[in-house]
Chain A
Amino acid sequence: MIDHYAVNKFLYDTDRNEHLVRRYIDDPDAYVDWYFDERLSRLLDNESEQSAVESPDEATRTALKTYDCAMLYRDGAHPFILWTLMLPIIEAKLASGEFVVGEQPENARAENRKPMAYYRERILPHGRPDFRY
């Protein structure tokens, strides 16, 4: 089971910073390790202080390093910030050919059709997980 706070902080903190999004796209292994080793426990509004928040396990790191949205989604990462960050990742990886998208839902709305189809294909088996805890 993923650590919800650590994963959500990773998603939130990365997504709102153009440079961090770039680093996550370019070198996910190094970025995820840096994030959890150096940045996770720093307070969001006070970079000189740390909290007792713990670094998540290896499985969580691997899920983030491999952009495994299905596992993160299934285990209760917040779906809104998960999608918001996965979108530029999937866009970039589709453009570079690293990701391939299967069939797109018929008539899917125009906005982000391809990344949406890629993401949907993966999370669909997991319904709507409870993301309260």
Chain B
Amino acid sequence: MAKIVSMIGTTHHPWYHAKTSKPESELTEDARNLLGWSARVQESFRSTNPDVVVIVASDHFHQFFYNNMPQFLIGRMKSYQGTFYNEEREFGLPRVELGGDRRLATDLVEAGYENGFDFAFSDEMRLDHACVVPSLISQPSFEIPVVPLLTNCGAPPIPPGQRFVDLGKALRNAIESSNAVDRVAVVVSGNLSLEVGGPEQMMPYSVDPEFDALAMDWLTDRDYESLTAESTYERLMLHGNTSFQFLNMLTMASMQEDMTLIHAEAMKRRGSPAPCFIYESEVQE
């Protein structure tokens, strides 16, 4: 039976590569913070030694569109190519290749039926920056295969907060009932208040610092009542039109169970801070 050995909550800041691949002397404070975060996550991966990484991340109109909109989709490919022309154009992201795990992915889809989730699945897809950037952060050499679980946090009607809480429980059960691998890391990618294409996008301050602080507390305290009450379309829109990707963090909160919280921080940036979480399990060697 597979075991979740580490769980990371992280940003998928699309300019991660552009900012951090500069010469040392040209790194901004944001870039240094991002690199510091990456070093911490890589350290956690080294000590917990996962066989595969399940990435929970939002689609950004690359795999999903309104002609055919899944809410939760699992990738079953043996390998993945990453990023798209429009992301190279806008963010300077590098094209990448990652391994996949078709057996684990298939087990997760099957176990979903037993756990209240009828997952959509895909045998041909590319990964956008929501999977690529967390991979650059957690394993820049891309040696560990991944299973992407894409969520719809972009095209309303978006599932309510409770579904993301339930997803965490279902996904934990699904991983733990699989024999495909032994050690699994889960990387959940999301944000706090955020705006793209709206009035507060790319401003040098947070869209809603009050929400950011409260949300960090709700996540660390596993305050599901607040998390779900504050995660409706109307409520999240108050903190920016892209705050829906906060929903993924609810999945992280409900997956942690008895894992040990190693690190919880809202990383300061010009713009809204980025949620950074590391949980680890005690595993008998």
Contact = CB atoms under 8 A, between A and B. Distances in A.
Contact of B202 (A12, A80, A82, A108): A108
B65 A12 contact: yes
A128 B241 contact: yes
A18 interface: yes
6 closest A-B pairs (Cβ-Cβ)? A83-B197, A79-B197, A107-B204, A132-B156, A109-B202, A124-B199
Contact of A80 (B67, B84, B233, B242): B242
| Interface SS of chain A | helix
B86 A15 contact: yes
Given A9-B66, A84-B197, A124-B199, 4 more contacts: A73-B197, A78-B154, A84-B61, A84-B90
B23 interface: no
B203 interface: yes
Contacts of A73: 197
B261 interface: no
7 contacts: A17-B85, A80-B61, A80-B242, A84-B86, A119-B197, A131-B241, A132-B157
A59 interface: no
B86 A16 contact: yes
A108 B198 contact: no
A16 B84 contact: yes
Contacts of A130: 237
Contacts of A17: 85
A28 interface: no
Nearest to B89: A88
A112 interface: yes
A18 B242 CA distance: 25
A16 B85 CA distance: 7
Contacts of B84: 16
B156 A120 contact: no
B204 A83 contact: no
A30 interface: no
Interface string B133-176: 00000000000000000000011110000000000000000000
Interface residues of A, number: 36
Contacts of A83: 196-197, 201
Nearest to A132: B156
Nearest to B199: A124
A1 interface: no
Nearest to A109: B202
Interface of A: 5, 8-9, 12, 15-18, 43-44, 73, 78-84, 87-88, 105, 107-109, 111-112, 116, 119-120, 123-124, 127-128, 130-132
Contacts of B198: 79, 123, 128
Contacts of A12: 61, 65-66
Contacts of B268: none
A118 B196 CA distance: 14
A68 to B, nearest CB: 15
A127 B62 CA distance: 26
A15 B84 CA distance: 10
Contacts of B270: 109
Contacts of B218: none
B60 interface: yes
B224 interface: no
B146 to A, nearest CB: 22
B117 interface: no
Nearest to B28: A110
Given A78-B155, A80-B154, A111-B15, A120 B86 contact: no
Contacts of B60: 80
A112 B15 CA distance: 11
Nearest to B270: A109
Contacts of A9: 65-67
B201 A116 contact: yes
